[in-house]
Amino acid sequence: MGLNKLSVFGVNQVYSILVVDDEEALRKQVVSLLISHGYQVDEACDGMEAAQKIAQHPYPLALCDVRMPRLTGLELLRHIREHEFSTTVALITAHANIKDAVEAMREGAFDYIEKPIKEATLLEIVAKAKKAHDMIEKLTLSAPMLTPGEGRECVGQSKEMKRVFQVVEKLTRVNTSVLVRGENGTGKELVARAIHFNSPRKDGPFVAVNCAAIPETLIESELFGHEKGAFTGADQRQIGKFQSAAKGTLFLDEIGDTSPATQVKLLRVLQEHAFTPVGSSREIKSDVRIIAATNRDLEKMIREGKFREDLYYRLNVMPIFLPSLKERRDDIAGLVNHFIEKFNQEHGQRITTLSPEALSALENFHWPGNIRELENAIEHGFVVESSSFLTFASLPDYIKRATRRAHSPHKTTLQVEALDWERGKESFEREFIVQALKKNSGRINLTAEIANIPKNTLLRKIKKYNINPREHGGWEGNLES
Ligand SMILES: Nc1ncnc2c1ncn2[C@@H]1O[C@H](COP(=O)(O)OP(=O)(O)OP(=O)(O)O)[C@@H](O)[C@H]1O
Ligand SMILES: [Mg+2]
């Protein structure tokens, strides 16, 4: 607990590159260029040898020829993804094989370089791949976590969350009641699980009850159980949640939504460690730890006579307050990385890179739904994205719009303009092309191919809207290309 999550490769991994080409002269040329720029380099004479080397050493980057005997570049890429090796692949391709390279990009290659190789282009691609790698590596190394059991993790590196983790750690060693406060989606249930699964009760049950979701007439029997015939419809004896949580933890979610009658009974369990099922005269001893949660203003409810003050003090022995996500933006990068890993596993996908524009949009959004909303935004990215990158374009539209609005110097003019149909269409077209170019590093041929726009149309629109492909990362973004 409170540990730093360690990357599999250790902290000081060198950025080593595997150069794969059956043409020896070309391979040597690339190798010596990279060595002269300070990279650690290894080589393989075809795809098969490369696959063997990658299995033994986690090269962050492989530069691969497309056409090779035994295993082609595309086959090597598929092999890497199937085995979930972390190697990023960039392809070296003759112009004649450009279709294969585009296909490889769709399947998750990082980029491609056309032969004859321009040194500057090669170095730029390598630098870009290294930057993306360093970013992910940094995120992986810097996310302290709590393990709430069942393979879940509670991630946070902001000073606010570090403080929460310290309190949680203390709470795992005592048996007091806990009250977890925070807005919707801030992780209240996750923190409750973290306390339970790191406490001596971890082998006992964790039972969650949402007090707001149970009708007033049923809540007592739900919590404390009932005898057969206790009320109309009670045709069988039933045990309550307090009994099913014996030797474990009972999580009372939305405690602020309980009625005064239920509050009295809860107070009694907390004080006397005993309860009586509905319709019974027999008292049952309770060995349950209670963790309650709410997003309501309990202090105000007490003033208004809606929440019992004595229950509040009983629960509030050790309060935990979870700040909203916008109050701890330092956590966003770590959470994004955490959710990328999570969905890579759940969706069997392999997203390895998050673009800086996407991260910045996520870091600046106001997140009214907090971490749950961030989690959904990343999952949205997984659904729309078939490559191995999450980019600004893969974010949900409402986040993209909010980001653009925040960066637009002419907010009102733009909105008024958009009310005109023709102008609206034009502004969409322009935005679409800018995003498509950004996604494809400003390269015209690739953008036309991937966004499915005839190249001539694309060139015409670029001129019409006065877009500069170079601004979007293109080093060969030449209108004449
Ligand atoms: N620090 C965190 N690290 C990783 N995942 C988190 C973290 N906090 C929350 N989550 C995830 O965000 C989602 C929402 O968390 P949770 O259900 O615990 O919030 P909550 O405060 O109980 O929300 P609500 O008030 O709506 O019930 C869950 O999927 C949870 O796993
Ligand atoms: Mg909850």
Which CATH number do you get for residue 83? 3.40.50.2300
- Beta bridge partners of residue 285, listed in sequence order: 274
Can you tell me the distance from the alpha carbon of 391 to that of 9, in angstroms, rounded to the nearest whole number? Answer: 26
Contacts 24+ apart (CB under 8 A), 322-325: 322/164, 322/180, 322/181, 322/182, 322/183, 322/186, 322/187, 322/188, 322/191, 323/160, 323/182, 323/186, 324/182, 324/183, 324/186, 324/367, 324/370, 325/185, 325/186, 325/367, 325/370, 325/371, 325/373, 325/374
Is residue 48 included in any domain, yes or no? Answer: yes
Are 32 and 59 contained in the same domain?
yes
Is residue 479 included in any domain, yes or no? Answer: no
Q: Quick check: CB of 194 below 6 Å from ligand 1? A: no
Q: Quick check: CB of 375 below 6 Å from ligand 1? A: yes
Rounded to the nearest angstrom, the distance between the alpha carbon of 376 and the centre of ligand 1 is 11
Is residue 414 included in any domain, yes or no? Answer: yes
Pick the residue whose CA is nearest to atom 24 on ligand 1. 184
pTM: 0.63
Is residue 480 included in any domain, yes or no? Answer: no
Pick the residue whose CA is nearest to atom 23 on ligand 1. 185
Which of 168, 189, 257 has most ligand 1 atoms within 8 Å of CB, for mutation? 189
Half-sphere exposure of 118 (CA within 13 A, CB side): 9
Pick the residue whose CA is nearest to atom 18 on ligand 1. 187
DSSP-derived 3-state class of residue 98: helix
Are 333 and 439 contained in the same domain?
yes
Q: Quick check: CB of 186 below 6 Å from ligand 1? A: yes
Are 119 and 157 contained in the same domain?
no
Q: List the CATH number of the domain containing 352.
A: 1.10.8.60
Rounded to the nearest angstrom, the distance between the alpha carbon of 320 and the centre of ligand 1 is 14
Is residue 253 included in any domain, yes or no? Answer: yes
**Alpha helices (runs of H) in 142-279, residue ranges in sequence order:** 159-171, 188-197, 216-224, 241-244, 260-272
Is residue 481 included in any domain, yes or no? Answer: no
Give 381's contacts (C-beta < 8 A, 6+ positions apart): 351, 358, 390, 394, 395
Are 108 and 45 contained in the same domain?
yes
Tell which of 279, 305, 323 closes a domain.
Answer: 323
Rounded to the nearest angstrom, the distance between the alpha carbon of 185 and the centre of ligand 2 is 7
Pick the residue whose CA is nearest to atom 31 on ligand 1. 190
Q: Quick check: CB of 155 below 6 Å from ligand 1? A: yes
For residue 331, the ligand closest to its alpha carbon is 1
Are 276 and 158 contained in the same domain?
yes
**Which residues line ion ligand 2, judged by CB < 5 Å?**
189
Are the C-beta atoms of residues 382 and 352 closer than 8 Å to each other? Answer: no
Are 297 and 335 contained in the same domain?
no
For residue 208, the ligand closest to its alpha carbon is 2
Tell which of 96, 114, 141 closes a domain.
Answer: 141
Are 305 and 386 contained in the same domain?
no
Rounded to the nearest angstrom, the distance between the alpha carbon of 294 and the centre of ligand 2 is 8
For residue 369, the ligand closest to its alpha carbon is 1
Tell which of 141, 160, 184 closes a domain.
Answer: 141
Is residue 477 included in any domain, yes or no? Answer: no
How far is it between the farthest Cα atoms of the chain?
91
Which of 154, 183, 190 has most ligand 1 atoms within 8 Å of CB, for mutation? 190
What atom of ligand 1 comes closest to residue 375's alpha carbon? 12
User: Domain range holding 198?
Assistant: 145-323
Are 100 and 180 contained in the same domain?
no
What atom of ligand 1 comes closest to residue 210's alpha carbon? 27
Which residue matches tokens 């009214």? 368
What's the total number of domains in the chain? 3
Are 362 and 415 contained in the same domain?
yes
Each of the 481 residues of the chain gets a pLDDT tens digit; together they read 332 232 222 223 468 999 999 999 999 999 999 999 999 999 999 999 999 999 988 899 999 999 998 899 999 999 988 887 778 899 999 877 888 888 888 777 888 898 899 999 999 999 988 877 776 665 555 555 566 666 678 888 888 998 898 888 889 889 999 999 999 999 999 999 999 998 999 999 999 999 999 888 889 999 999 988 888 888 888 899 999 999 999 999 999 999 998 999 999 999 999 999 999 999 999 899 999 999 999 999 999 999 999 999 999 988 899 999 999 998 998 899 889 988 988 888 878 777 777 888 898 899 999 999 999 999 999 998 877 778 888 899 999 888 877 665 443 333 334 456 666 677 778 888 888 888 777 888 888 887 888 888 999 888 888 888 877 655 443 443 3
Are the C-beta atoms of residues 188 and 293 closer than 8 Å to each other? Answer: yes
For residue 372, the ligand closest to its alpha carbon is 1
Q: List the CATH number of the domain containing 272.
A: 3.40.50.300
Can you tell me the distance from the alpha carbon of 421 to that of 137, in angstroms, rounded to the nearest whole number? Answer: 45
Q: Quick check: CB of 182 below 6 Å from ligand 1? A: yes
Give 279's contacts (C-beta < 8 A, 6+ positions apart): 226, 227, 228, 229, 230, 231, 234
Q: Compute the Cα dihedral for 37, 39, 40, 41 and give only its sign.
A: negative
Rounded to the nearest angstrom, the distance between the alpha carbon of 24 and the centre of ligand 1 is 54
Is residue 150 included in any domain, yes or no? Answer: yes
**Alpha helices (runs of H) in 258-369, residue ranges in sequence order:** 260-272, 298-303, 309-315, 332-347, 356-364
Rounded to the nearest angstrom, the distance between the alpha carbon of 84 and the centre of ligand 1 is 28
Q: Give, for 380, the enclosing helix (H) or strand (E).
A: helix 370-384
Are 134 and 187 contained in the same domain?
no
Look at residues 177, 178, 252 and name the one whose alpha carbon lies nearest to residue 219.
Answer: 252
